[in-house]
A and B are shown apart, each in its own frame.
Chain A
Amino acid sequence: MAITSGTGTGPSTQPAARRSRRDARRFLSSPALIYLILVTQVPFALTIWLAFTNWNLLRPASAGFNGLGQIVRNFRRILTNPDFLLVIWNTIYLTVAVVLITFILGMLFAILLEKPFPGRALARTLLISPFLLMPVASAVLWKNLMLDPSFGLSAWAMQLFGLQSVYLVQEAPMLSIIAIVSWQWTPFVMLILLAGLQSLPADTREAAWLDGAGPVTMFRFIILPHLRRFIEIAVLLEVIFLLNIFGEIFVITSGGPGLQTTNLPYQIYLEAFSRWNLGTASTYGIVAIVLANLVIIAFIQVLRQKRKEMA
């Protein structure tokens, strides 16, 4: 940059040629860049524009830009809604709980699968399969085949023990969702951690073993520090995806009973396609973006702190 910007008027031909080559490169890459800007930023810009409206889809006359007063009204409307805090809490609770559960289970399974044993390949494939199912498909499966109080596997199991069949989705809706989503996401964490474990050089481990490290010490001082990067990636990706959990809630609980399982994405869906309020739905969308960034920044901060402590 420094060289080329100073030589714009210079007589030398070499920098000019370099510049023209650079311009050509820029020109050639511009379609891709414009495409990227369009597909990533236009929906976001539209969301912001819609937040300035009071558009009810079923009332065409209400469409149109209403100015700053409207976005203030929209924000006031959602922030003064008594359900708002509950929805935010549900979103964070669901995300954090699933991250913790999947992390612990994923780590256990990864350690289990690292050592060779007969049938390991089969066990690995079976453990991965929940992640390969589409969210809506696995939700339908859990709701109808597993948890249905009259026809499900759980009803049959309860009957074996002579117990009254209960509908878990009704008695503990949030826990059911957390369990089902964790079931689905554990393989994801397991896969990443397994890759991490397998990249740990055998001689490091051997050296630690010769130095007299037991299994706990080995895990705490050799395996865990080595896995730090992998853990960060797994957790970060999980948080990004889990903040957007929708299919399972849509299929299993429709956000209820009451608001017990309504998270932010589901609330946006209700606002847009149940109440038809595009203005408030988009305002919720902005809140969701802010929340996602806050949670991710917080996670990164915590992880950095940990790294400093460990260093």
Chain B
Amino acid sequence: MNAGKQLLKRLPILAALFTAGAIATAQTTVTIATVNNPDMVVMQELSHVFEAANPDIRLEWLVLDEGTLRSRVTTDAAIGGASFDIVTVGAYDTALWGANDWLHSIDELAASHPDAAEGYDFDDLLPAVRDGLLYDGSLYAVPFYGESSFTMYNARLLDEAGLSMPEQPTWEEIAEIACELHDPANGVAGIVLRGKPGWGDNMAPITTVINTFGGQWFDDEGRPTIDTPEWNAAISFYADLVQRCGPPGVTGISFPEALALMSQGRAGMWVDATVAAGFLAGSEAGADIAHALAPVGPVAKGNQWLWSWNLGIPTTSDAVEEAFRFIMWATSSDYIELVAEERGWAAVPPGTRTSTYERAEYQEAAPFATMTLGAINAADPLDATANPQVAPGVQFVQIPEFQGIGNDVAQLIADALAGNITVEQALERGQRAAEDAMQDAGYY
């Protein structure tokens, strides 16, 4: 009796729960795989705005570090796993994915869903960034974030030493200034550069040095050209610089480690991603940091890199329309306004839209903005090396084999930076590994 009454009392609650369940099932779930970079974390935090405006869509997130994300989404795409409706793909991967028919063409989606793409303004996207996402003339992902590289230096330290930084330094000048500043007794390194092995770690800045010293990874047919005098000059220069005038333990240093040193005033200068300037601005040494262009060597080409993180929709997705609505929202100028409103102009994702750089508020909040834009526009993935190369890319080469070869060579170079083997040995072994990989893949 009592139990019956209890049940009757609860009936409305149960009914309400069932209805709620029914509403929940009417929603479409969109699963997003992305990188754990600060800009993507902001996107996840602000995505409730999108969900509120699109009650029929529920977003689910998988946020991973770059390497893990790449192996997860690539494996998923290769075996047709269909786990994701939106994937974050890098500038290196997008065209390869497009070639494999793993991503929907954005042009086609924009044509078939004109209401979702309304007001998006594709022409506002930075041409250098957008062109890196084309395969066969068609766009396969939309840029969420873009960067180039330049020189950041601690102007106070330079002033104290009576030195000055040219607007466009050469690598020779950089080495000279760095070694003047180098003061290990007081815990100040002249220059901090990446040495941690990985194609996206040490090989990103090192490849820009190789480019501007006249070297390149492959010739126009895909024959490796690692065992060359240009590579030797570039790597010897880099190794000598970090060994003589860099912090201890170069093979453990990548972006976060260098950022930590620079932001505490424990390094005189740093050549790295333009996005670092935003992090440095808010740090301990923030007020002292000034910027110059990426250093050049004998060949004035490929000395500044170009990278972007982009959102694409896998062909295996079963919520294409909903996913398309989200990526149009997350890469729109409205989204940039939203971040500016919620987090301030300094926090907006850089390097995607001309309109961002035209805003006076952004120029004011990010004094390095003009230089960043100049660097991004000056980087040309189609003409980054002295001689033609087999595929586009500044600090990478857009072929499937590059990641493996890049990582293998990165390890050998780290071994040379640590002084365990000579530069000659590293290059000779790198050349052999690259030749094996390219021959196995049937390039020649």
Contact = CB atoms under 8 A, between A and B. Distances in A.
Given A58-B78, A143-B252, A256 B411 contact: yes
Interface residues of A: mostly helix, strand, loop or mixed? loop
A77 B187 CA distance: 47
B128 interface: no
A257 B266 contact: no
A254 B197 contact: yes
B197 A276 contact: no
A167 to B, nearest CB: 3
Nearest to A279: B440
Contacts of B441: 56, 59
A139 to B, nearest CB: 13
Contacts of A13: none
A166 interface: yes
A57 B251 CA distance: 29
Contact of B248 (A56, A82, A164, A276): A164
A206 B71 CA distance: 61
Contact of B407 (A165, A260, A270): A270
Contacts of B378: none
A222 interface: no
A96 interface: no
Contact of B252 (A56, A169, A259, A270): A169
Nearest to A272: B71
A257 B404 contact: no
The residue among B250, B404, B412 with the most chain A CB atoms within 10 A of its own CB is B404
Q: How large is the interface on A (under 10, 10 to 19, 20 to 34, 35 or more residues)?
A: 35 or more
B197 A257 contact: yes
Contacts of A118: none
B91 interface: no
Given A164-B184, A274-B407, A258 B415 contact: yes
A257 B100 contact: no
Contacts, number: 107
Given A77-B440, A255-B411, A277-B404, A58 B96 contact: yes
A117 B384 CA distance: 70
A234 B103 CA distance: 50
A60 interface: yes
B250 A170 contact: yes
Contacts of A151: 260
Contacts of A257: 197, 251, 411, 414-415, 417-418, 420
A150 interface: yes
Given A256-B414, A257-B418, A276-B404, A60 B248 contact: no
A260 B415 contact: yes
A275 B421 contact: no
Given A254-B411, A257-B411, A276 B249 contact: no
Interface residues of B, number: 43
A149 B197 contact: no
A273 interface: yes
B248 A258 contact: no
Interface residues of B: mostly helix, strand, loop or mixed? helix
Given A150-B249, A167-B248, A170-B249, A58 B184 contact: no
Interface string A143-166: 100001111000100000000111
B440 A254 contact: no
Contacts of B261: 150
A299 B409 CA distance: 37
Interface in B70-93: 70-71, 74-75, 78
Nearest to A162: B185
Contacts of B70: 273
B415 A167 contact: no
Interface string B249-264: 1111000010011000
A277 B401 CA distance: 10
B247 interface: yes
B196 A254 contact: yes
A78 to B, nearest CB: 11
Contacts of B187: 150
Contacts of A274: 403-404, 407-408
Contact of B414 (A149, A164, A258, A277): A258
Nearest to A73: B440
A105 to B, nearest CB: 27
B400 interface: yes
Contacts of A56: 400-401, 441
A69 to B, nearest CB: 14
Nearest to A57: B78
Interface string B391-407: 00000000011011101
Contacts of B436: 81
B198 interface: yes
Given A254-B411, A257-B420, A58 B400 contact: yes
Nearest to A54: B440
A60 B403 contact: no
Nearest to A166: B248
Contacts of A57: 74-75, 78
B96 to A, nearest CB: 6
Contacts of B285: none
The residue among B252, B261, B408, B418 with the most chain A CB atoms within 10 A of its own CB is B252
A256 B415 contact: yes
Given A150-B266, A257-B411, A167 B249 contact: yes
Interface string B112-125: 00000000000000
The residue among A59, A258, A260, A277 with the most chain B CB atoms within 10 A of its own CB is A258
B437 interface: yes
Nearest to B96: A58
Nearest to B93: A58
Contact of A170 (B78, B100, B251, B421): B251
A259 B408 CA distance: 9
Contacts of A165: 248-249
Contacts of A63: 78
Sorted nearest first, the 6 A-B pairs with minimum C-beta distance are A167-B249, A275-B404, A258-B415, A58-B400, A149-B249, A149-B248
Interface of A: 56-60, 63, 77, 81-82, 143, 148-151, 155, 164-167, 169-171, 254-260, 270, 273-277
29 contacts: A58-B400, A59-B400, A148-B257, A149-B247, A149-B249, A150-B248, A150-B261, A166-B248, A166-B249, A167-B252, A169-B249, A170-B249, A256-B415, A257-B415, A257-B417, A257-B418, A258-B421, A259-B411, A260-B420, A270-B404, A270-B408, A273-B75, A274-B404, A274-B407, A274-B408, A275-B401, A275-B407, A275-B408, A276-B400
Given A57-B74, A254-B198, 5 more contacts: A150-B266, A169-B249, A257-B414, A258-B412, A270-B408
